[in-house]
Structure 1
Amino acid sequence: MSIAAERVERLEALAAAAAAEGNDDRARSYVRLARRIAERNRLALPRSFTRFTCDACDAYLRPGANARVRLRDGHVVVTCDCGEQARYPYE
């Protein structure tokens, strides 16, 4: 595993911990930094990272706190507090 991939994983863990403590600004900065590192090194972000971050405002999503999760016909709809929606298929 490359150093950049390890750094992205570590930043994801730090963002989750900061969001759990209620420090949303710090979590947002960790998410932005992880995305920049992944772009610079041409890495695909892990699925857990993409599912729990908002593409519009870079917030780390916590269902029930700053995100709403709903099941629709064949897909999950995750709505951030900023209004951005992400849809993921399921069977």
Structure 2
Amino acid sequence: MSLAEERIHRLHALAKRAAADREFDRSREYVRLARRIAERNRCGLPREFKRFTCPRCDVYLRPGVNARVRTQDGHVVVACDCGELKRYPYRD
């Protein structure tokens, strides 16, 4: 694992902890920094990181706190407080 990937994983953990403490501005900064590191080093973000961050407002999503999770016709729909919707397919 490269240094950039290790740093992205660390920032993911920090963003998750900050969102759990309801410090959404701090979690937003961690997410933005992790995305910037991934872009500069041309490495992808982990699936869990992509699924639990809002692409519009960059906040780490906590279901029941600042995000709503629903299932619809074979899709999981995650709605952020800012209004952004993300859909992911699932199998039965």
Normalised-by-shorter TM-score class: over 0.9
Inter-partner Cα distance in structure 2 for 1:19 and 1:66? 9
1:86 has 2:86 as partner: yes
User: Which residue identity lines up with residue 4 of structure 2 in the other structure?
Assistant: A
Inter-partner Cα distance in structure 2 for 1:70 and 1:55? 18
- RMSD (Å) for aligned C-alpha atoms: 0.4
Partner of 2:2: 2
TM-score (norm 1): 0.99
Q: Number of matched residues? A: 91
Q: Percent identity?
A: 70
Correspondence list, 1:15-30, <5 A? 15-30=15-30
Correspondence list, 1:1-91, <5 A? 1-91=1-91
User: Any stretches of 5+ residues in structure 1 without a counterpart?
Assistant: none
Q: CA deviation at 1:69?
A: 0.3
TM-score (norm 2): 0.98
Inter-partner Cα distance in structure 2 for 1:13 and 1:47? 14
User: Which residue identity lines up with residue 62 of structure 1 in the other structure?
Assistant: R
Inter-partner Cα distance in structure 2 for 1:8 and 1:49? 9
